[in-house]
Amino acid sequence: MKKTSTRLADGRELIYYDLRDDTVRDAVDRRPLDRTITTSEVRRDALLGDSVAIASHRQGRTYHPPADECPLCPSTSDRLSEIPDSSYDVVVFENRFPSLAGGSGRCEVVCFTADHDASFADLTEEQAGLVLDAWTDRTSELSHLPSVEQVFCFENRGEEIGVTLGHPHGQIYAYPFTTPRTALMLRSLAAHKEATGGENLFDAVLEQELAGERVVLEGEHWVAFVPHAAHWPYEVHLYPKRRVPDLLALDEAARTEFPQIYLELLRRFDRIFGSGEPPTPYIAAWHQAPFGALEEFDGVTRDDFALHLELFTIRRTSGKLKFLAGSESGMNVFINDVPPECAAERLREVASS
């Protein structure tokens, strides 16, 4: 992998990740952009104990542009985009409309491929491996920023999810706090460790799932399964079999196998509802241990946390979406119409060809 860092016309950082070591990236951003001005603010909810980002400047972000005006495609002689060069393998840049900014964290965009009409599932194993390298590198770099406590790499795919740009891409949020979902995991981890005299809850869950009926895919170094208490109609958790706290700690064997397992999983997701259905909308979310202090989670260290990816869709059946209604949105109590065992069986049936 070759990494080349440059600046866009408004001062934002842009980084090329290339498969070839001899690739030259010297294109200049020729757009007449003013400096980006953001209004991001993080406010603490005193009752719930969580945080909310207030970012009014995002109201003006780019919204469903036509394909020939996509800001994530490479630039051409007569159309300038966020990527100054005429081609790229993988590129990461600071979001022009970030939810978090300055002392409140950082938001980045990850473009998986220059092909506007592709999806992550269309990538080759080599390309998917390069995306993994980019995620890992950004996790490392962002973790050293003084305002950052947790790094979250994710992909939103499909208009039903709320995606406003059709180009295959994901995002990275560098939070100045430990996110509420991770805090819940850490509390459960601490409680289980105390109750069992030191047993790791992630290890116990993984052992139980490996012995059960909800495994979807299993390799030498990774396993994908539908969890016992899946919240979403089709939800799969992907774990390395050797527990590690973050992407940085994956060994070479796990990094090599990841593209094979993940691409197969994504291709199966696109087959859940049959060949006549549009591509399955999904969210793919990496869960990594926070880089901040963990004193509030008694006895838990970063090494107790287990890196994993959670992949889920809001489509519950052909032509129908799972909406978060009163119980889910009002009280955070999910109701799942698809039994996890049935979801796992369906995902095993639809092996990609």
Q: Write the DSSP symbol of residue 286.
A: E
From CA 76, how far away is CA 108, in angstroms rounded?
23
**Which residue in this structure is represented by tokens 């009926």?**
213
The values of phi and psi at residue 131, to 5°, are -60, -45
Burial class from Cβ neighbours inside 10 Å (0-12, 13-18, 19+) for residue 188 reads: middle
Handedness of CA 43, 59, 67, 8 (dihedral sign): negative
Give yes or no for a contact between 132 and 255, defined as CB atoms under 8 angstroms apart: yes
The values of phi and psi at residue 344, to 5°, are -65, -40
169 labelled catalytic: yes
Six token digits for residue 296? 């509030």
Six token digits for residue 294? 């963990």
Q: Write the DSSP symbol of residue 351.
A: -
Burial class from Cβ neighbours inside 10 Å (0-12, 13-18, 19+) for residue 132 reads: buried
From CA 95, how far away is CA 11, in angstroms rounded?
11
**Which residue in this structure is represented by tokens 């406590």?**
149
Widest Cα–Cα separation across the chain: 65
> Which among 68, 171, 172 is positioned nearest to 117, based on CA atoms?
68
**Which residue in this structure is represented by tokens 């994901």?**
170
**Which residue in this structure is represented by tokens 């542009």?**
65
Residue of 116, 167, 169, 287 marked active site: 169
The residues carrying an active-site annotation are 169
